[in-house]
Chains A and B, each alone.
Chain A
Amino acid sequence: MEQLLQQLVNGITVGSVYALVALGYTMVYGILRLINFAHGEMFMLGSYFALTLIVSTRVGVLQLVPNVLLGLLLVFLFSMGLVSTVGVVVERVAYRPLRRSTRLAPIVSALGASLFIQNAVMLTYGTQYQVFPEGLLPTTVWRVFGVEVTLMRVIVLAISLGLMAALYAFVQKTPLGTAIRATALDHDAARLMGIDVDRIILTVFLIGPALGAAGGIMVGLYYRQINFTMGWTYGLKAFTAAIMGGIGNIPGAMVGGLLLGILETLGAGYISTGWKDAFAFVILIAILILRPTGLLGERVAEKT
């Protein structure tokens, strides 16, 4: 029982990161009907930018900002901002010119952009694993009903749930959020209502990469080891989560991410660790066979 609870806590932590990254996929897909294969690289870039900022400003050893938490907050904001910029540039260069083209061309363009970013990072930082400095945050552990909860876990959960709640409120309550939902439904009708569709796409490419970057930073802080190839694996799983929840559906991505994290951790814990990465896809295939539009998905019209 305690083991099960422990696995659940671990699963929710990983799952909340998947959910954050999945939001980027689902928002872009909702608006453009495009699988943004470069989104995994945004996650990876976030991690690398944060590492560079932490090492160069020596957060925690306290040269510039005395308070660790304040320092980390600044690291988050700066890295997310930088990654958003990259996201917008990728959209401008690799996706915008292909918006009216065949369906296959943007896929290849996205894969090319992803390969480019990955190798740019590899050439800058080298092929070896990069390690986050030790002892940034105190390793406090609480025991709740025999379950170990570390401070890092609490922070990861708090940040991801906070960001998700903020995004949900933004999309549901603000005028810009309403415009995003309208554009996802129908570009032309949205344009007739006076919505600047290009601006909406820009907004989505600002928010998505920023959320992905936040996920990447947290994975870096949590596991402390990062590699330039991690965008592929996390990206693929987050995309799986987005599809599980029903792609284009924002609450769906959150549910899908958490569910994937939990099922994957349980599978690794009770069945086999070696097959851990395969569980995600087995679950995905099962869900799509039984419910082809995902758990919360309504039918998303195909782009013609």
Chain B
Amino acid sequence: MKWVFQINEISLGPGIARTYALAGLGVLLVIYPLVVNDYWAMVGNFYGIYVLLGCSLNLIVGDAGLFNLGHAAFYAVGAYSTAILNTRWHVPTLVLLPLSAALAAMFAVVISKPILHLRGDYLCIVTIGFGEIVRIALYQNPFGLTGGPNGIFGIGRPSLFGFVFRRPWHYFYLIWAFVVLTIFAMRRLEESRLGRAWNCIREDDLAAEAMGIDTARLKLLAFALGAGVAGIAGNLFASNMTVIAPESFSFWESVLMFCIVVLGGPGSVPGVIIGAFGMFVLPELFRGFFLRSRLLVFGAAMVAMMLFRPEGLLPVQQWKRAAESRGEGARRAAAV
């Protein structure tokens, strides 16, 4: 009879620890904005936005294995559509949230449809190209819509049932509500049929095709969903800042999101949370120490991280196993 007990304990143990850890994080999320000043609440807000962006790019790069180094374009579509519609026609920003997501997703479908047959590095450079075209378009102020280099200011603050989000800590709850929702959705997605199909495409898209997976449609869907979430992040960013300008959507921003995904471990949602912490919050914490050499240290740290943990900080188990067996194969080959 004893062994039944043991099984129970084993299966219960980690579950309970997990519940406690999650509850602890939840409490921390609720208390954090109440105890810190506006500056650190703002840091928390940006952290949330980067987690959202990381999750959305993780869907494309981590789950479906499509190299996208122009994710800032979708983020920009979300932010600018909110800003333009709000400042011109005074549509409330929260109403625009689903609209921005839909517009970003549609934009993604339009631009990624003709390029999905490209593989790996070709896709990478084309997405960089799209990102740059969008950034240049924002600077060039087409039809007087984007406000050129100055951007758009006076974006309305969101309001919910008469409550207007004004202070950074108000936004903190708004943004993190979406973060929690997105994380939950991503976890569900990962374990679904769709998530498994994406992973299959990532590992080998020819084999996936042979298994009857409609790879073209699913790749398009990964882009559309990822861009939609990035659009939500853009909307939250625009209403949080009330001012947006093209430099927030530069190539560097896309690089940052890409690094969040790879540093955390591609395909892993906890990895994104850690990755965004490392790429955004840590440099913020050290801002006082090396003011000028911050990015120098940052670059060196990126290289060092990849050398010591090429699979990311919190890799998905499958990835880890694949990397290990490949390494072992290589070592065996070298020995022979």
Interface residues of A (CB under 8 A from B): 29, 33, 35, 93-94, 97-98, 100-109, 111-120, 123, 232, 236, 239-240, 243, 247, 272, 274-275, 277-278, 280-282, 284-285, 288-289, 292, 302
Contacts and interface: CB of A to CB of B under 8 A. Distances in A.
B302 A112 contact: yes
A229 to B, nearest CB: 10
B119 A302 contact: yes
A281 B115 CA distance: 13
Interface stretch (B21-29, B126-134, B161-169, B220-228): B126-134
Contacts of A101: 306, 310-311, 323, 327
B121 A29 contact: yes
A285 B129 contact: yes
Nearest to A276: B136
Contacts of B269: none
A247 B118 CA distance: 13
Contact of B299 (A29, A119, A280, A281): A119
Query: Which range contains the number of B residues in contact with the other chain?
Result: 35 or more
B125 A284 contact: yes
Contacts of A94: 303, 306-307
A285 B198 CA distance: 25
Contact of B133 (A33, A105, A282): A282
Contact of A247 (B121, B255, B307, B311): B121
Contacts of A105: 262, 306, 310-311
Given A108-B306, A239-B125, A277-B132, A289 B114 contact: yes
A107 B299 contact: no
Looking at chain B's contact residues, is the secondary structure mostly helix, strand, loop, or mixed? Answer: helix
18 contacts: A100-B327, A100-B330, A101-B310, A101-B327, A102-B319, A102-B323, A107-B67, A108-B262, A113-B303, A116-B303, A118-B299, A123-B292, A123-B296, A281-B132, A284-B126, A285-B115, A289-B114, A289-B115
A105 B266 CA distance: 10
Nearest to A104: B262
A102 B330 CA distance: 13
A33 to B, nearest CB: 7
A287 B263 CA distance: 32
A102 B295 CA distance: 25
A275 B296 CA distance: 31
A245 to B, nearest CB: 13
B307 A281 contact: no
B87 interface: no
A108 B128 contact: no
A108 B293 CA distance: 19
Contacts of B263: 108
Contacts of A120: 296
Contacts of B330: 100
B104 to A, nearest CB: 19
Residue among B119, B133, B259, B266 facing the most chain A CB atoms (10 A cut-off): B133
B61 interface: yes
Given A105-B262, A281-B133, A302-B119, A119 B293 contact: yes
A94 to B, nearest CB: 5
B306 A112 contact: yes
Looking at chain A's contact residues, is the secondary structure mostly helix, strand, loop, or mixed? Answer: helix
B292 A98 contact: no
Contacts of A236: 128, 132, 251
Contacts of B114: 285, 289
Contact of B306 (A109, A247, A281, A302): A109
B150 to A, nearest CB: 15
B299 A113 contact: yes
Q: Can you list the 4 inter-chain pairs with the closest CB atoms, starting with the nearest?
A: A112-B302, A116-B299, A115-B299, A281-B129
A112 B301 contact: yes
Given A93-B303, A285-B115, 17 more contacts: A35-B121, A104-B266, A105-B262, A105-B306, A107-B262, A109-B306, A111-B302, A112-B302, A114-B299, A115-B295, A117-B299, A118-B295, A118-B299, A243-B125, A282-B133, A284-B129, A288-B115
Residue among A97, A100, A277 facing the most chain B CB atoms (10 A cut-off): A100
B302 A115 contact: yes
Residue among B117, B119, B129 facing the most chain A CB atoms (10 A cut-off): B129
Given A119-B299, A281-B133, A106 B124 contact: no
Contact of A275 (B61, B115, B140): B140
Nearest to A284: B129
Interface string B285-309: 0000000110110111111011100
A108 B114 CA distance: 26
B32 to A, nearest CB: 29
A240 B125 contact: yes
B184 interface: no
Contacts of A288: 115, 118, 122, 126
A111 B306 CA distance: 11
B157 to A, nearest CB: 33
B296 A278 contact: no
B240 to A, nearest CB: 26
